[in-house]
Amino acid sequence: MKEKCTKYESLFLFRSEEELQQHLLECEDCRLEHEKMQKVSELIKEVRPAFRERRRNLAKVKVACALFMLMVSGTTLGVLNFNTDVSDTLKYGAALSAEELGLPVDSYGLIYIE
């Protein structure tokens, strides 16, 4: 029983195309291996557009998520910065009044200026 030829990979990777073709004409094992590789190459070429489309869609989703987070964080920070009652409630558990802040106030809770 003859041994299977194992030269295909080394010829394919390290030798010239002419040497590979010459060996394929002489060796049945390597010719069958080359046909299998050609089929795999054709399958890869066939699915390449689908993978590119998938990569583009993933990039679009990432951009949409980034814009959404930017919008949400900008809105949240805007509410917290311009509405002190909300930020006080989040920080201290209740909205602080002028009296609790140590400012002079009158009987109505308004800041008293002398």
Whole domain around residue 69: which residue ranges?
8-82
- Domain assignment present for 60: yes
Measured CA distances, 1 to 4, 86, 87, 106 (Å): 9, 85, 84, 109
Confidence class for position 103, pLDDT limits 50, 70, 90: confident
* Shared-domain flag, residues 104 and 48: no
Q: Are 96 and 88 in contact (CB under 8 A)?
A: yes
* Shared-domain flag, residues 66 and 92: no
Which stretch of DSSP H or E encloses residue 34?
helix 28-82
Which stretch of DSSP H or E encloses residue 59?
helix 28-82
Indicate whether 1 pLDDT > 50.
Answer: no
Q: What is the pLDDT of residues 16-57, one digit of tens each?
A: 999 989 999 999 989 999 999 999 999 999 999 999 999 999
Number of domains present in the structure of the chain? 2
Task: Calculate what percentage of the chain has a pLDDT beyond 70.
Answer: 92
Q: Give the model's pLDDT for residue 64.
A: 97
* Shared-domain flag, residues 58 and 77: yes
* Shared-domain flag, residues 87 and 77: no
